[in-house]
Structure 1
Amino acid sequence: MSTTLATYIALPGNAAEAFEHWHRVFGGELDLTRYGDMHMEGMPFEPDPQHVAHAVLTTAGGQIAGGDAMEDGNDYLVHGTAYSLLYSVETPDDARGLIQKLITGGGSVGMPFEKAPWGEWYGTVFDRFGVMWSFSAPSAD
């Protein structure tokens, strides 16, 4: 196995829905394991068997991993946090297509996708799960 780095997102009980949505938007290969799919004997907790223990979406651009957050009293705020996922694509039209899919799927524009002062195209979208996606594409000139 080679060394990799992937974003991991702990979601509040809707990881299956989120990862299936992202799979439809970005394509790639989705590997999703629910707690009910695993051998649970000896686990130090009793998770909901329908919750996601681990998911990985592998796309041409990289991997997103995640699952449902453990019910340990922590609030896992997604929308309004300081992080985002940066998706760099080859053309502005590629970005526009992905942005449109996220908006059509219940998302909203955070920052319009337009030419940025540094010369590339840039914009942000919040998907329906509150995750902020930043999109970047090189300028055509």
Structure 2
Amino acid sequence: MTTRLNPYLNFRDRTREAMEFYHSVFGGELTMSTFAEMHASEDPAEQDKIMHSQLITDNGLTLMAADTPNSMDYTPGTNNFAVSLSGEDEGELRGYWDKLSDGGDVAMPLDKAPWGDFFGMCTDRFGIPWLVNIAGEQQTSA
């Protein structure tokens, strides 16, 4: 897998609706996981929220989105987007992380995530939020 650079949008309880709309516009394959499926929140009101969604089109477009947790600020136009870097090349992605986070603000250190990948969130020195995801070991069935 190559490293992908794509927008990551945040919504307040409208990710499913928005991503189904974008799917109708662009086609492709849409996947969604809830907070409950990912064991990402103890709050019963958040169980059906979308923790992560991804639309990959046949012509190579990628769009990701998630619902903002109730405990986090949500201000459309200010904090409802990020740029995502994802792939399997750990050295390349850690290098990007180190440079992007240098002089910026690390919201979540690049570390092992509940879904098995390495994941981190930072805002660079120019105020742009970044998400970095390094794919974990792929499971093979025996």
TM-score (norm 1): 0.48
